[in-house]
Amino acid sequence: MSSGPTIGVFDSGFGGLTVLRALLPLVSSAHYIYLGDTARLPYGSKSRETIARYAVESAHFLEARGADLLVIACNTATALALDDIRHAVNIPVIGVIEPGARTALEALPQIRVPHVPLLGHGSAPNPDVSTHPQILVLATTATVQSHAYRAECDALGMIATEVACPLLVPLVEEGWTGHHVTREVLRIYLSEALTECAPHAVLLGCTHYPLIAAAIEAMLRELGSDAIVIDSAAATARVVARTLNGPTPSNPSQPATFECFATDSVEKFQRLGSIFLGQPIPKVELLDLGG
């Protein structure tokens, strides 16, 4: 086990392994404890109260297990239960939503300078549209309904259009990441979204989406958009590194270690999880959180 910090990473399933994947090389001095609450996924169809209760139970487990810092690698739990989790534990808690939104802001410096429209151009342009970065957020229905990304973008002076893409998670889980059906579904979702906004950045608001980030970017270009694609998983990993005083140098002789817990379906977790983590998961321990 590593001599560095212990970082707890929590998700309702294995999607949060894309966040762990981004963390491993960036904070390689750490030991990671990943918990996927697979017995109770998906959180997306559940109420705020239920999600908060589930997430707090998982947070308590990770804190009791020795986590010095907690990463909520789950957009739904971040959107609906981040405050509950922060109140429930005595360690710092980092969600996935603020890092993604902040990364969008930092990646779009030129747009942050307000553009003063020339006079005499007929109807006055919408000042919001001309002076603030436009962000298209792709997410699950539950995350969109929470409007957590919109609130975060608002607070940072950006205008968010949130679009629910319920088929993308099942397509990724079917393994159709490079499949023509996935491209067609992306074409439908994105072309409809692009009638609603002209985004400077597209924010991937679901931990499954990094696996189709390239397909999303390619479809944006095909549809004539030059929006940059921002991966919340990578953004969150950078915030964790910053919180722990910067990235730790990669040390091949002592790479980051991790252990995985799931509340159900250990076999599925290992099989699908390895794709999300980008490396084999040698062992998954079954955990009973009740419920």
Q: What track of x and - describes contact with a copy of itself for positions 33 through 72 (by CB under 8 A)?
A: -----xxxxx--xxx--x----------------------
Q: Which is nearer to a copy of itself, 48 or 65 (CB)?
A: 48
Of 265, 215, 283, the closest CA to residue 42 belongs to 265
Is residue 171 near a copy of itself by the rule CB under 8 A? Answer: yes
3-state class (DSSP) for residue 193:
helix
Return the range that interacts with a copy of itself (CB under 8 A); candidates 123-131, 147-155, 168-176, 198-206. 168-176
**Residue 270 Cβ, how far from a copy of itself at the closest point, in Å?**
14
How many Å apart are CA 71 and CA 100, to the nearest integer?
14
What region, left, alpha or beta, does residue 35 occupy, with left being phi > 0 and alpha being psi -120 to 50 degrees?
beta
Q: Which is nearer to a copy of itself, 174 or 196 (CB)?
A: 174
Out of 57, 68, 259, 264, the only residue in the binding site for a copy of itself (CB under 8 A) is 264
Q: What track of x and - describes contact with a copy of itself for positions 147 through 166 (by CB under 8 A)?
A: -------------------x
Q: Which amino acid is at 203?
A: L
Return the range that interacts with a copy of itself (CB under 8 A); candidates 27-35, 71-79, 146-154, 261-269. 261-269
Out of 83, 184, 192, 196, the only residue in the binding site for a copy of itself (CB under 8 A) is 184
Evaluate whether 99 touches 235 at the Cβ level (below 8 Å).
yes
Is 260 a catalytic site residue? no
Backbone angles phi, psi at 177, to 5 degrees: -70, -30
Contacts with 7 (C-beta within 8 Å, 6 or more apart), sequence order: 23, 27, 30, 31, 32, 33, 67, 68, 69, 70, 71, 240
Question: Which residue in the list 74, 153, 165, 260 is annotated as catalytic?
Answer: 74
How many Å apart are CA 172 and CA 275, to the nearest integer?
10
Is residue 174 near a copy of itself by the rule CB under 8 A? Answer: yes
Question: By CB under 8 A, how many residues form the interface with a copy of itself?
Answer: 25
**Residue 212 Cβ, how far from a copy of itself at the closest point, in Å?**
14
Is 74 a catalytic site residue? yes
Out of 173, 211, 213, 216, the only residue in the binding site for a copy of itself (CB under 8 A) is 173
Q: Where does 12-73 show beta strands of DSSP type E? A: 31-36, 69-72
Out of 86, 102, 147, 268, the only residue in the binding site for a copy of itself (CB under 8 A) is 268
Q: Which amino acid is at 263?
A: T
Is residue 238 near a copy of itself by the rule CB under 8 A? Answer: no
- What are the residue ranges of helices labelled H in 205-290? 213-222, 232-243, 266-277
**Residue 184 Cβ, how far from a copy of itself at the closest point, in Å?**
6
| Residue 232 to residues 78, 101, 244, 248, Cα–Cα distance (Å) | 12, 8, 18, 20
Q: Which amino acid is at 89?
A: V
User: Which residue's entry shows tokens 């969600």?
Assistant: 95
**Residue 291 Cβ, how far from a copy of itself at the closest point, in Å?**
4
How many Å apart are CA 256 and CA 273, to the nearest integer?
17
Could you list the active site residues?
Answer: 74, 206
Interacting residues with a copy of itself (CB under 8 A): 38-42, 45-47, 50, 166-167, 169-171, 173-174, 181, 184-185, 188, 264-265, 268, 290-291
